[in-house]
Structure 1
Amino acid sequence: MTDLQSIVEEIARELEPRFGEGRVADYIPQLARVNPRQFGIAVTTVDGDMFLGGDAEVPFSIQSISKVFTLTIALGKHGESIWSRVGREPSGSAFNSIVQLERENGIPRNPFINAGAIAITDLVLAGHTPKEAIGEIVRFVRYLADEDGIVVDHEVAKSEAATGFRNHALANFMRSFGKLDHPVDHVLGVYFHQCALSMSCRQLAKAGLYLAGGGRNPTTGHRVVSHLRARRINALMLTCGHYDGSGEFAYRVGLPGKSGVGGGILAIAPGKASIAVWSPGLNDNGNSLLGSTALEMLAERTGWSIFGY
């Protein structure tokens, strides 16, 4: 039997000389202040076992990883009709690109680039005030992780709102095509707050476990989504979860994953485990440099790649 605790500790130890590599997301002032010499990893299996290494208990801003959870909520509220508002194809462009939106009449390529996630947030907002929608997202993530202490970092949310000019442009562009139902300020208010959720690797790995368990949290028995929907969310994470670096991540790691510019990555080994890694330094595609490396090491040592040994 694979000794996961030893593997997790080995990965943290072997990467320690490289702590600080990459560049923090300095275009968001609060994230620019984060100490880059940090690294955490958490693995929680479908049997309920948890394995931690490094700074696995340190909370960080999950940023775009939140898009997995809002996509799950939107699918629950609106079903397959959401795909009339957002596509399911890799973008091949940067996460905050506006180029494709004009060519494709305001319909974002997928729900994990910024424009797509803003469209999904607009759907989550249906029937709610912005404050209610933020509350729904926070409660859902707390439910998934089975932890009431998960909160929004309001300083990060404020920092994003003050500097989110590109996101305002994306939202206004979609609104001009009639692809947003709610006022741009309302949608972005929710979006900035969901991205500012603060979680540790341990909490994040627990929150993602339903995607490893075929839509059901195997530790609580709660069914979050159908088996088919979990499979499809995982498919989107594999093809689109790392922006224009998604192909490289699939090639090297071979697991569905979703990154965030806070330096976190949530990865899923279907039927086996949910994995969260965090290291603030990013590569050129905006994905955690050491986090990606750690997941490649983990997949190799466990044989968990969905493409086989």
Structure 2
Amino acid sequence: MKKNIVDLQGKLNALLHSYRDSFVEGAVADYIPALASVEPDFAGIAVATIDGKTVGAGDYQHAFSIQSISKIFGLVMAMNRLGDSLWQRVRMEPSGQPFNSIIQLEWEKGIPRNPVINAGALLVADVLTSHYSASKLAFLGFVRKLANNEDIRVDLDVYQSEFTHGNRNAALAYLMKSFGNIEAEIPDVLSHYFTQCSIAMSCEQLAQSLLFLANKGIDPLTKQVICSPKDAHRVNAILSTSGMYDQSGEFAFSVGLPAKSGVGGGLIAIVPNYGVICTWSPPLNSFGNSVVGMKLVEGIAEELGLSIYH
């Protein structure tokens, strides 16, 4: 699927100019104090294509807390390590509940609905903690390799803020432990999870690091196999149905791309056989998705005809 990227720079600049002031419709995440202090008027967009080009506009090279976008990297690592047995411990269905729902987890006996709600991501964090002697270093190393950048770091202020205010995630982890679906010690699982969420990356770095999902599991820049084509398909399917929290159906309806958002204001969208779009704007709507980011992704997908359902 070859897409015309002539004057992509101009399109990104125009879209950013059109939408960046829409941030007044949203609010910066405040339940993690370190995120509440981020200036609301940042906005950036980057598009990385599988032929090696990256184009960006606005604050696309400014690092921000990737938060739930980190769930993609963790899921790929866990799939590579456990294979199909992972799906006995976490399902692949949309949740239809808030991303941090305790009630659903209780109903379903400690088996999370999917790996991109918080309970599922904590289960994945347990897999990594249990199967790597230094899971946090392994995770950071994996991200650095994909982004081809050794300078990517964990924001320790965000990490401390997450750990101090992470009681609901602790409750989810202990509930799964009570059902026998968490193997490691809970403080170790939480420490891993908060570490991965606190990694700081730019739109440019995120877009480039996820190109393998647009290229059947192969990093198009290094030619390394990151995951199997089947697992790339599975990750994209989960992102299509569940990656945008309770707005996933609406996003599929209006945009039609596998996507994942984070409460740091980041949003990535995978365009199979083409590339990755990444946006960042901190103010969120009531679903926890970036107001400006959603408009930017929808705008560029519409302009270039990128929906997977075309």
Query: Residues 128 and 231 (structure 1 numbering): CA distance in 2 closer, same or farther, change over 3 Å?
Result: closer
Of residues 41, 45, 59, the one that matches 1:37 is 41
Of residues 78, 98, 105, the one that matches 2:102 is 98
Alpha-carbon distance, 1:167 to partner? 0.4
Unaligned runs of 5+ in 2: none
- Asked if 1:68 corresponds to 2:61, the answer is no
- Contact 2:13–2:57 (Cα < 8 Å) also in 1: yes
User: Relative to structure 2, which stretch is displaced further, 173-182 or 9-18?
Assistant: 9-18
Of residues 249, 258, 261, the one that matches 2:260 is 258
Alignment of 1:275-294 (within 5 A): 275-294=277-296
Aligned twin of 2:218: 216
**Secondary structure, counterpart of 1:126 in structure 2:** helix
| 1:140-170 Cα deviation digits (max 9, x unpaired) | 0011111111111011010000001110110
Alpha-carbon distance, 1:223 to partner? 1.2
Q: How many residues align?
A: 306
Alpha-carbon distance, 1:21 to partner? 3.3
Identity of aligned residues (%): 48
Alpha-carbon distance, 1:20 to partner? 4.1
Of residues 125, 129, 141, the one that matches 2:129 is 125
Provide runs of 4+ in structure 1 moved above 4 Å: none
- Asked if 1:12 corresponds to 2:19, the answer is no
Aligned twin of 1:115: 119
- Contact 1:21–1:36 (Cα < 8 Å) also in 2: no
Aligned twin of 1:300: 302
Alpha-carbon distance, 1:244 to partner? 1.1
Aligned twin of 2:184: 182
- Aligned partner letter, 2:267: I
- How far apart in 2 are the matches of 1:126 and 1:219? 31
Alpha-carbon distance, 1:18 to partner? 2.2
- Contact 2:259–2:268 (Cα < 8 Å) also in 1: yes
- Contact 1:141–1:207 (Cα < 8 Å) also in 2: yes
Alpha-carbon distance, 1:17 to partner? 2.9
- How far apart in 1 are the matches of 2:21 and 2:109? 47
- Asked if 1:57 corresponds to 2:61, the answer is yes
| 1:227-279 Cα deviation digits (max 9, x unpaired) | 11111110111101011111011111110001100000111000001111011
User: Relative to structure 2, which stretch is displaced further, 154-163 or 20-29?
Assistant: 20-29
| TM-score when normalising by structure 2 | 0.97
Unaligned runs of 5+ in 1: none
Alpha-carbon distance, 1:183 to partner? 0.9
| TM-score when normalising by structure 1 | 0.97
Alpha-carbon distance, 1:226 to partner? 1.1
Alignment of 1:240-251 (within 5 A): 240-251=242-253
**Secondary structure, counterpart of 1:190 in structure 2:** helix
Alpha-carbon distance, 1:40 to partner? 0.7
- Contact 2:132–2:138 (Cα < 8 Å) also in 1: no
**Secondary structure, counterpart of 1:125 in structure 2:** helix
| 1:16-66 Cα deviation digits (max 9, x unpaired) | 332443111100000000001111100000111111011001100000000
| 1:176-219 Cα deviation digits (max 9, x unpaired) | 10110011111000000000010000000011100011111111
**Secondary structure, counterpart of 2:240 in structure 1:** helix
- Aligned partner letter, 2:274: K
Alpha-carbon distance, 1:7 to partner? 1.3
Aligned twin of 1:226: 228
- How far apart in 2 are the matches of 1:181 and 1:253? 38
- How far apart in 2 are the matches of 1:14 and 1:136? 40
**Secondary structure, counterpart of 2:112 in structure 1:** coil
Alpha-carbon distance, 1:89 to partner? 0.2
Query: Residues 128 and 222 (structure 1 numbering): CA distance in 2 closer, same or farther, change over 3 Å?
Result: closer
- How far apart in 2 are the matches of 1:21 and 1:289? 7
- How far apart in 1 are the matches of 2:293 and 2:26? 11
- Contact 1:266–1:275 (Cα < 8 Å) also in 2: yes
Alpha-carbon distance, 1:288 to partner? 0.8
Query: Residues 55 and 20 (structure 1 numbering): CA distance in 2 closer, same or farther, change over 3 Å?
Result: farther
Alpha-carbon distance, 1:128 to partner? 3.3
- How far apart in 2 are the matches of 1:295 and 1:84? 34
